[in-house]
Amino acid sequence: MQQDILINWSPQETRVAVVENGAVQELHVERTLERGLVGNVYLGKVSRVLPGMQSAFIDIGLERAAFLHVADLHGNHHGENGTQRNAQPPVPIEKQVFEGQSIMVQVIKDPIGTKGARLSSQISIAGRLLVFLPQDDHIGVSQKIPTEQRESLRKRLQALAGPQGGGFILRTNGEEATDAELAEDVAYLRKTWARIKDAATRLPATSLLHQDLNLLQRVLRDLVNEDTGTIRLDSREQFDMLLAFGREFMPAAATKLALYKGERPIFDLFSIDDEIARALGKRVDLKSGGYLIVDQTEALTTVDVNTGGFVGARNFDDTIFKTNLEAAQAIARQLRLRNLGGIIIVDFIDMVREDHRDAVLGEFRKQLGRDRVKTMAGGFSQLGLVEMTRKRTRESLAHMLCEPCEACQGQGILKTSRTVAYDILREILREARQFNPREFRVVASPKVIEILLDEESQHLAGLSDFIGKPISLQSETSMGQAQYDIVLI
């Protein structure tokens, strides 16, 4: 599968699009003032220990305290197969950390919404081919590498690691690496760890000890693979810097770099700005005429599949089957494009035939298998839903680029003008029972004032007679439809 990477750089923002067979599959955005924290290492200070939650809050110098669970303390981490390496239950957190203690921690999840960053005291430093585990002696190999090759690669890596201590995990792109390339990565990672340890002895608590690579550099480290054709970048200055970085640490990836000199903006080549606009909407149209509704909430994401105007198949069962097959491909793409994570519920159109359900589920899992982020999908539930999870480490595209609407506060709906007018009448009655002003003045949006002056004028006059106070109205164009004030004069 042909893959191209397009990079649009500006002083305030870097945008990366991964294009496969002419279609945008992934979008990565990093803003200079909002750079992600995943991979950063800090010298934190324990601000609070919560034995009931087996967690601690750690001050790492951010606006919100970060969160450290007992399972993420060094010694309690999990092995390659997801099982805990230490067979004994973890020592309670209150016996391992105490308030005021300085502790070296690494961010494993960015702050998302109202939640602080999630931390681990098990440090790992990612290189081009390897991941270094300085506090561990484990030698591992990526599970994406075929099983029959893992043992020989593990022995090679063990020999290269030497007796200096520390563990290594071979990344997928290190499968074909030479001993010299692996040795270079080992030396680079050990040097980086030495700098981190030195900084920890010199700097005060809450200091940043190590910052992960920026998005441009992570493109070479994480996104380039054997299918990548070209990496086009539209800034001469950044191209030269990235080329120098790539030649030193990732020479194979650096050969794919190309400076884009076209007159059209680079993202116009594949209408990527249009794709971004569509990725921020709820509705996704399918080529067949069907469509998806993607609804992202704080707790989970739901995806609903609809046939829409698709009536092209010979019978209704085939229509549903073909729509669901197309939807399976589109949903997997949308999850990557929007960077949706956490719990995801997919409501495919109900299918009667078992072979149709199996084929749709098989296609869905096949498409999810192309995702570089870890995913797990179950089968169809009794209600015909597919439950899945996708690992979440950074904000979704919508959360990064958008904010809740001031008018509806993120609900997506507004009270009608009449509903707000009735709220105002009830509020005046409530206020009249508590206070004794000379007059009540209602300040609201023009639509609400119009309702009160016209259709609800009799009710307003009746209320004024009932409470024995005049009620005046003031239109305020700057107010949203659901906003109002009742001023006591």
pLDDT at 83: 40
| Residue-range domains of the chain with CATH | 3-34+214-272 (3.30.420.60), 46-78+93-210 (no CATH), 281-396 (no CATH), 417-488 (3.40.1260.20)
Q: Which range among 179-183, 280-284, 359-363 shows the weakest confidence by mean pLDDT?
A: 179-183
Contacts of 185 (CB under 8 A, 6+ apart): 127, 128, 129, 130, 174, 177
pLDDT in tens, 408-418: 777 778 899 99
pLDDT at 82: 39
pLDDT at 388: 95
pLDDT in tens, 14-69: 999 999 988 899 999 998 877 888 899 999 999 999 999 999 999 999 889 999 99
The yes-or-no verdict on residue 118 having pLDDT over 80 is yes
What is the C-alpha separation between 438 and 202, in angstroms, rounded?
68
Over pLDDT 70: what percentage of the chain?
Answer: 96
pLDDT at 21: 85
Name which residue leads in pLDDT, 173 or 331: 331
Nearest to 125 by CA among 175, 187, 70: 187
pLDDT at 423: 94
What is the C-alpha separation between 112 and 428, in angstroms, rounded?
40
Longest dimension (CA), the chain: 93
